[in-house]
Structure 1
Amino acid sequence: MLAGRMMDYPLTLTHFLDRARTYHARCEIVTQNPDRTLARATYADLHRRASKLAHALARLGVRAGDRVATLCWNHARHLELYLGVPALGAVVHTLNLRLHPNELSYIASHAEDKVIVVDRSLLPLFRKFAPQVRCIQRVLVIGDDGPVDGDGLDYEALLAPEPDDFDFPRLDERSAAMICYTSGTTGNPKGVVYSHRSIVLHTLVSCMHDALGFRESDVVLPVVPMFHAMAWGLPYAAVATGARIVLPGPHLDPASLLDLMARERVTFAAGVPTIWLGILALLDEHPKRWDLSSLRSTVIGGAAAPPSLIDGFLSRHGIEVTHAWGMTETNPLGTVARLRSSLGLDPAASLAARASQGFPVPLVDQRHVGPDDRPLPWDGESMGELEVRGPWVASSYLGGEGEDRFTKDGWFKTGDVVTIDAAGYMRITDRAKDVIKSGGEWISSVALENALMSHPAVLEAAVFAARHPIWGERPLAAVVLRQGKTVSKDELHAHLEPRFAKYWLPEDYLFLERIPRTSTGKFLKSKLREQFGDLLEKKASG
């Protein structure tokens, strides 16, 4: 049998770290501090400090496989943890600072974190759950907003005396590099372990032109937090290509982000739809206040973005938006809504394709299945649960939990209800737990939300299921209006009527000041159902 023989070269993050120093030593890392001053470092500094970090952690007793947790904003110190900890052979575990302290104590204990690195500004949060986490032996404090005084080891003082270089070990590419936890909207959060190999492969594909399309000349702004789903792999992709990286720290409001984009001439930015909705609204109010001519690409993911958002950026501000889909379990990139020239799409079809979740990046497969678990046709109409597989898609959760999410033939059950058209473009119509089943028919809350958010008076809309005495469930719409705008329920109903079957139309409209969100910025429809799920039953009973 003829077999090719290739060099045994492990796919590990150490290669990215070495490459940063060797080829991109002068490339800049910019951090916005809590006081809004900017700190500047280079990729040579990144390698030097990651080496110091490895020495310091080894001296503290951190060994291969030990978990080092982070409770940090997006900044250069967090980036050196992203690389220095895995290159040592330990595992970096990013804690989501937007979670409740009870969830954080559960996650840190479940992951068996040995060391935690905490921003000084986040110590009040850490103190709320620290007493319940017995596995943590060392606390390192980054003085992001002032001097460190007794709450733990001073991170800078710890690194200062260490050598500038470290003999990083040769690692097994399948060994763990990072742990991220799911948001835990149903049951306890579950841990997903990323290997060096999965992150390297994910990074290489992410950098492809028709994926996220990174290049050395880019200035990359990860608005998505580094404590959420590996920041979509953006920090690793930036380091791998030698792109300049701008880290926003704790300032994620639209004005701060726009100021940072204009000042640092950002070319690529990525975040969840709620961030971009706020940015678009502010740009519409002040279209000439910020010079964003350098911005060549923005990526929206984490939840379905309305077509009106994508079209608004392009038609009113000349900014191209790329829709992407992924999950913690997919490392996280799964699909990207790029246009394919071979399809010859007209402008309307092009917008529809851009507003979809796209088609899989190389090495990821997709299918959707019905209630009987049989694959459905790619006809753009059949709705079923999306399943994916690939070399960076999880095959299990930490501790063997959630086995029902993984099929016997090697697919991950995402929980997203989707359609897939003949060209392979996938469109999310709902989460399985949020889908509205009225009189035996499925209603897509996402389609209704997108249509509502295309109304000029509507800033945000979330459609959810309310119990109904006759139909079982009916859709209710929670709406947040734009500042200074008004609209009646009848006007919203008239806006939807030409687009949907009568039974799809919301039974009622609720005008709210804000829509509850998960820790990752998605609409928390379980909270809406809890608050308003019996509204229609109450009306029916008089």
Structure 2
Amino acid sequence: MLRGLMMDYPLTVDRLLDHAYKLYPHKRVTTKQPDGSIHRYSFADLYHRVKRLGNVLHKLGINQGDRVGTFAWNNYQHLELYYAIPCAGAVCHTLNIRLSTEQLAYIINHAEDKVIFVDATLLPLFSKLADNIPAVETIVLINAQPGIETPFPNVLHYEDLMAQVEAEFDWPVTDERQAMGLCYTSGTTGNPKGVLYSHRSLYLHTMGENQATALAFTPDDIVMPVVPQFHAMAWGLPYSAMFAGADLVMPGLHLNPVALADLIADEKITFPAGVPTIWTAMYQELRANPRDFSHVRCLAVGGAAMPRGLIEAYERDFGVPVLHAWGMTELSPLGTISSLQPQHRQLSDHERWDLRAKQGYPIGGVELRIVNDAGEELPWDGTTVGELQARGPWVTAGYYKVEPTAEHFTADGWFRTGDVATINHEGYLGITDRTKDLVKSGGEWISSVELENTLMGHAKVTEAAVIAIPDERWSERPLACVVLTKDAGEVEPSELLEYLEPLVAKFWLPERVVFVSEIPKTSVGKFDKKVLRARYANGELG
């Protein structure tokens, strides 16, 4: 074999940071602080503080491969940790602030975190772990007042540590396959599972995300990750935005629709990114109190499917196109983007919105296929439904400290996503359900996701979740749990069923409709159907 004569250039996170510093030192990171004030500094400022933080980590006894936890909001200090921890050779372990105490303790102990950085505003929540994480040596508080009391034996303060060290530090990372980040899945079944990212996978994911056919960031962009930094490394946005010279705006703990809408308008955000529940609430706020969103080039949505009706409403009412995306923690996380292509310019508005509501085409670097129960690959015809599988340089090959099994990986090396999907002839993915959420009625499959999205197209429906309930004749039937809009007034189930009747197959019509005040959510904002299934397990609807 004739080998190419090319440089061996390690794909490591410090190269991303150096690139942002050298080319875009003047670009800015803006953070809304806990007290509502605004903190701004440049990429150059961040770079030098990351160097200081490397020295802090060394002083704390952090060695190559050690896991360092973060328990914080989206802010500039958390961004500094995103870079300093992997650049210092350690593993950045982002901790989900919305998990239960039991799950957090399990994750911290399983990862063997040595030091954890904690936002002081979250200290009341984190303090519940004091007796359950014995291996953690040090807690470092961010944004804490002097003299604050905690139940932990060894507590230090972020800025005190930063003031004690120099702003010069030589990055020790040379192996691109070294671990750099650790994120745990939300653990819908069993304990959460850890996905261990490498420098190489993160670097390639950053380049993949910045493709012109993906997120296509440029120095003209102002990116605001509303998606939490604890969720799949904030979808990689803190890395890809800085690498492309885009400004970053971090919303901190200010995630209510009024605060977010104001921040998008005031800071002229071009690319806000978050889960559908965030944008559903903000749509209602914008209807009541309009802002100038003309600078928003797209509203990025991931984590769950955005209802087609809401995609249409944002574009129709505010002129804001929605960019639907799909991914998973196991994919670092970006897998697909639902952008329109030149051949779609002649489509009607209705057809364009239908296409935008799909999860989109795989970005360069991600391969997808759908298979049947026998593992045979199925055609991309837009109608054939199969299990979705993925592979690529930023797709996990296993879970941390867990032996790979056939449940998650195929014999020929594909990752089994757990999603059920179609792919059309242009490569556009349409997630029809999770395998565990399909309703099997009389031997026929019913897509809960499609039913939910159709229901949420009704003007009086804010949210809808569909689950299977037991049925003597059909084995299972769909139950629709519906949250009405505030101004809906009196609504009978029959009104929603009549709305659905011409839009779905007759046997798909829910057996019952129950009205609820809210749909339970997982820690990352998805509908928590296991809670609903437990609530209605015996078919008793009250």
| TM-score, scaled to structure 2 | 0.97
Secondary structure at 1:400's aligned position in 2?
coil
2:353 maps to a residue whose letter is: L
Aligned to 1:22: 22
Equivalent of residue 512 in structure 1, options 495, 516, 524: 516
Kindly state the Cα deviation for residue 402 of structure 1 after the two structures are TM-superposed.
5.2
Aligned to 2:263: 260
Aligned to 2:443: 440
How many residues in Structure 1 have an aligned counterpart in Structure 2? 535
Aligned to 2:296: 295
Secondary structure at 1:29's aligned position in 2?
strand
2:35 maps to a residue whose letter is: D
Equivalent of residue 221 in structure 1, options 219, 224, 236: 224
Aligned to 2:379: 377
1:86 maps to a residue whose letter is: P
Kindly state the Cα deviation for residue 401 of structure 1 after the two structures are TM-superposed.
4.2
Kindly state the Cα deviation for residue 343 of structure 1 after the two structures are TM-superposed.
5.5
Aligned to 2:92: 92
Consecutive unaligned residues in structure 1, runs of 5 or more: none
2:216 maps to a residue whose letter is: G
Kindly state the Cα deviation for residue 170 of structure 1 after the two structures are TM-superposed.
4.0
Aligned to 2:487: 484
Q: Determine the C-alpha separation between the residues in 1 that align with 2:205 and 2:398.
A: 18
Question: Deviations along 1:338-360, whole A, 9 cap, x unmatched?
Answer: 11214565123322211000010
5 Å-filtered alignment, 1:323-402, equals 323-342=324-343, 346-347=347-348, 348-401=350-403
Q: Determine the C-alpha separation between the residues in 1 that align with 2:425 and 2:22.
A: 46
Kindly state the Cα deviation for residue 533 of structure 1 after the two structures are TM-superposed.
2.9
Kindly state the Cα deviation for residue 396 of structure 1 after the two structures are TM-superposed.
0.3
2:509 maps to a residue whose letter is: L
Q: Determine the C-alpha separation between the residues in 1 that align with 2:383 and 2:248.
A: 41
Aligned to 1:69: 69
Aligned to 2:148: 149
Kindly state the Cα deviation for residue 78 of structure 1 after the two structures are TM-superposed.
0.2
Structure 2 residue 413 is matched with structure 1 residue 410: yes
Secondary structure at 2:326's aligned position in 1?
strand
Kindly state the Cα deviation for residue 84 of structure 1 after the two structures are TM-superposed.
0.5
1:325 maps to a residue whose letter is: W
Aligned to 2:193: 190
Q: Determine the C-alpha separation between the residues in 2 that align with 1:147 and 1:506.
A: 57
Aligned to 1:212: 215
Q: Determine the C-alpha separation between the residues in 2 that align with 1:18 and 1:163.
A: 18
Aligned to 2:111: 111
Question: Deviations along 1:107-166, whole A, 9 cap, x unmatched?
Answer: 00000101100011111111111321122111101125x445354101110111211121
Conserved in 1, the CA contact under 8 Å of 2:344 and 2:352?
no
5 Å-filtered alignment, 1:24-39, equals 24-39=24-39
Conserved in 2, the CA contact under 8 Å of 1:191 and 1:398?
yes
Q: Determine the C-alpha separation between the residues in 1 that align with 2:147 and 2:100.
A: 24
Secondary structure at 2:130's aligned position in 1?
helix
1:261 maps to a residue whose letter is: I
Secondary structure at 2:401's aligned position in 1?
helix
Question: Deviations along 1:156-214, whole A, 9 cap, x unmatched?
Answer: 10111211121112420010010000000011000000101101100111111220111
Aligned to 2:422: 419
Question: Deviations along 1:409-463, whole A, 9 cap, x unmatched?
Answer: 0100000111111221111111111110001100001111111111110011111
Secondary structure at 1:398's aligned position in 2?
coil
Secondary structure at 1:123's aligned position in 2?
helix
Conserved in 1, the CA contact under 8 Å of 2:303 and 2:526?
yes
Equivalent of residue 531 in structure 2, options 527, 530, 534: 527
Consecutive unaligned residues in structure 2, runs of 5 or more: none
Structure 2 residue 121 is matched with structure 1 residue 121: yes
Say if 1:130 and 1:345 are closer, same or farther in 2 by CA, change over 3 A. Answer: farther
Conserved in 2, the CA contact under 8 Å of 1:326 and 1:335?
yes
Aligned to 1:319: 320
5 Å-filtered alignment, 1:125-144, equals 125-143=125-143
Conserved in 2, the CA contact under 8 Å of 1:120 and 1:148?
no
Aligned to 2:498: 494
Structure 2 residue 275 is matched with structure 1 residue 272: yes
Secondary structure at 1:110's aligned position in 2?
helix
2:302 maps to a residue whose letter is: G
Kindly state the Cα deviation for residue 369 of structure 1 after the two structures are TM-superposed.
1.4
Kindly state the Cα deviation for residue 529 of structure 1 after the two structures are TM-superposed.
1.0
2:427 maps to a residue whose letter is: G
Structure 2 residue 473 is matched with structure 1 residue 453: no
Conserved in 2, the CA contact under 8 Å of 1:117 and 1:139?
yes
Conserved in 1, the CA contact under 8 Å of 2:88 and 2:173?
no
Question: Deviations along 1:251-309, whole A, 9 cap, x unmatched?
Answer: 1111110011111111111000111111112112223xx11121111110101111111
Conserved in 2, the CA contact under 8 Å of 1:190 and 1:401?
no
Q: Determine the C-alpha separation between the residues in 2 that align with 1:345 and 1:101.
A: 53
1:379 maps to a residue whose letter is: D
1:149 maps to a residue whose letter is: I
Structure 2 residue 49 is matched with structure 1 residue 45: no
Q: Determine the C-alpha separation between the residues in 2 that align with 1:506 and 1:409.
A: 39
| TM-score, scaled to structure 1 | 0.97
Q: Determine the C-alpha separation between the residues in 2 that align with 1:518 and 1:331.
A: 19
5 Å-filtered alignment, 1:155-194, equals 155-194=158-197
Secondary structure at 2:116's aligned position in 1?
strand
Structure 2 residue 474 is matched with structure 1 residue 471: yes
Secondary structure at 2:172's aligned position in 1?
coil
Conserved in 2, the CA contact under 8 Å of 1:148 and 1:154?
no
Aligned to 2:286: 283
2:319 maps to a residue whose letter is: G
Between the two proteins, what is the percent identity of the paired residues? 50
Say if 1:50 and 1:260 are closer, same or farther in 2 by CA, change over 3 A. Answer: same
1:247 maps to a residue whose letter is: M
Secondary structure at 1:178's aligned position in 2?
strand
Q: Determine the C-alpha separation between the residues in 2 that align with 1:41 and 1:131.
A: 38
Q: Determine the C-alpha separation between the residues in 1 that align with 2:259 and 2:85.
A: 30
Question: Deviations along 1:502-528, whole A, 9 cap, x unmatched?
Answer: 110001111000000100100011111
Say if 1:180 and 1:148 are closer, same or farther in 2 by CA, change over 3 A. Answer: farther
Secondary structure at 1:423's aligned position in 2?
coil
Secondary structure at 2:5's aligned position in 1?
coil
Aligned to 1:236: 239
Q: Determine the C-alpha separation between the residues in 2 that align with 1:35 and 1:315.
A: 35
Q: Determine the C-alpha separation between the residues in 1 that align with 2:443 and 2:486.
A: 38
